[in-house]
Amino acid sequence: MKGERQMIYKNIIFKADPFSYDLKFDDRITLVGGDSGVGKTVLYEMLEDIRLTDEYKAIRLFNYRSDDFQNTIKQCRDSFIVVDNADNLINDEVRKFINFELSNQYMLFLRNCDGLNVSDKSFKVMKFDNNKITLEEEL
């Protein structure tokens, strides 16, 4: 419904040998943190493949190679938007769009959440356990 906070995906589950991914989302905006080299960009690349399936066709991906990011993201509606290296791409205008375009859900690889309407459930870190990758609440 228009104006209502929407969750496009509560879970994204897939396998990319030797790993299985079980990503659970508790909020419309999920901030995935972690040090460099923990696998955030690898996860982004996996999502590039699964977005081609019918089940995950609402996924829209943006990174430093995206053309005209500032305008293109503002055209998205009813999408699960993933932004890699978001600290380098998101400005105040995009933060406002994220806060007020409630038809979208967001997974942002971002360290600075200033200006975003997030909750305690928004903050996640990637966790590896027996070749299973999950998003866990950041403590």
pTM summary value? 0.93
Q: Which of 77, 66, 133, 126 is nearest to 105 (CA)?
A: 77
Cα–Cα distance measured from residue 130 to residue 105, given in angstroms and rounded to the nearest whole number: 29
Q: Among 3.40.50, 3.30.110, 2.60.120, 2.60.40, what is the CATH number of 18-137?
A: 3.40.50
Sketch the domain layout of the chain as residue ranges. Answer: 18-137
Q: Under DSSP, is residue 26 helix (H, G, I), strand (E, B) or coil?
A: coil
In single-letter form, the type of residue at position 130 comes to N
pLDDT per residue over 8-63, tens digit each?
999 999 999 999 999 999 999 999 987 777 889 999 999 999 999 999 999 999 99
Cα–Cα distance measured from residue 137 to residue 5, given in angstroms and rounded to the nearest whole number: 21
Beta strands 123-129 and 132-137, pairing class: antiparallel
